[in-house]
Amino acid sequence: MTNSNDMPLAAKPIDRAAHRRTDEAWLEAAFKREDALVFLLRDGIPLIARDGGLVWMGPEAARVSPGSPRLFLGEDKAGAPVFAMDLPPKFDLDGSLIEGIGEFLDFRQAAARMPAMDANCASTARSLFLWHTSHGYCAKCGGRNGITDAGWKAQCSACGAEHFPRTDPVAIMLAVQNGHALIGRQKFWPAGFMSCLAGFCEPGETIEQAASRELFEEAGIKCDPAKAEYVACQPWPFPSSLMMGFILPAQSDAITIDSKELESARWVSRAEMREILSGKHSELFCPPPSAIAHHILKVWAERDD
């Protein structure tokens, strides 16, 4: 059975220790501890070691880029505090104190290589840092926001308004009928790449209603949201979504594409889906196991009903 707690980017999370976030004295002391664990990102891109995991440092990380923003992510199983630092976008490894110890690697590529805990920490830090980058000013008065609560809140220096990082709910779904499933592609994807359909949840609707609405809007396929089957969810830091996966029985098989959303869509059999998942299909391929779409496709493909 698919479990969200085992999903890539969500598996093996650390204790967030949220009660520590407002204790500035504790945070300062914790960052200087010998057992402190610190990793680095630059513009949302993690610094990766040769073994594929994060480059883990201690309090000496502060010397790499003094004054750079940092987050307190929590404590590991041994009680060691875990921090992330956001280096300036123009930070250059060449000639720096950390030259040669790793490389900044595209997050999607890096996530597929990282151990589970590293991936969860990096995903969390990426979402938070990118949120702060795009929310530097108060939505209420336009004043400058400052980072507080160890990175988990922004507060306006002018009016005092508090702002909290958002997570956008996204439905990602597979319509099925008579032993076939609907997959689609956007025009900017690589040739042959196809996946589940997906879309953001709108105000005033449930996530199941969002899944049904998006299927109809993008492909003309009607589904009853009351019959939506929940599969699992996954945090997805692009920039900060929660992907919630569903399988929905379709009421018809006639496809009507919204060309603004999709380039094409098609029904595939279970045999085809298994070939796609195994990389043996002559024409099509799908998202890797690091994405929830892969697991939704796999759940359906391995069934006998």
Domain 168-301 has CATH 3.90.1170.40: no
- Looking at the chain, which residues constitute the CATH 3.90.79.10 domain(s)? 168-301
* Tens-digit pLDDT profile for residues 201-246: 999 999 999 999 999 999 999 999 999 999 999 999 999 999 999 9
140 and 159 in contact (C-beta within 8 Å)?
A: yes
Distance CA 85, CA 69 (A): 6
Three-class SS of residue 219?
Answer: helix
Three-class SS of residue 34?
Answer: coil
pLDDT at 1 over 70: no
* Tens-digit pLDDT profile for residues 79-103: 999 999 999 999 999 999 999 999 9
Distance CA 38, CA 80 (A): 10
Assign 38 a pLDDT band (cuts: 50, 70, 90): very high
pLDDT at 2 over 90: no
Angle value at C-alpha 174, between 172 and 177, nearest 5 degrees? 160
Strands 81-87 and 37-42, sheet pairing? parallel
Residue range 179-207: mean pLDDT, rounded? 97
Which CATH code for domain 4-134?
3.90.79
Q: Which residues contact 296 (CB under 8 A, 6 or more apart)?
A: 172, 173, 174, 196, 231, 232, 245, 246, 247
If you average pLDDT over every residue of the chain, what do you get? 97
- Looking at residue 127, its pLDDT comes to 97
HSE, side-chain direction, 13 A CA sphere, residue 148: 14
Assign 292 a pLDDT band (cuts: 50, 70, 90): very high
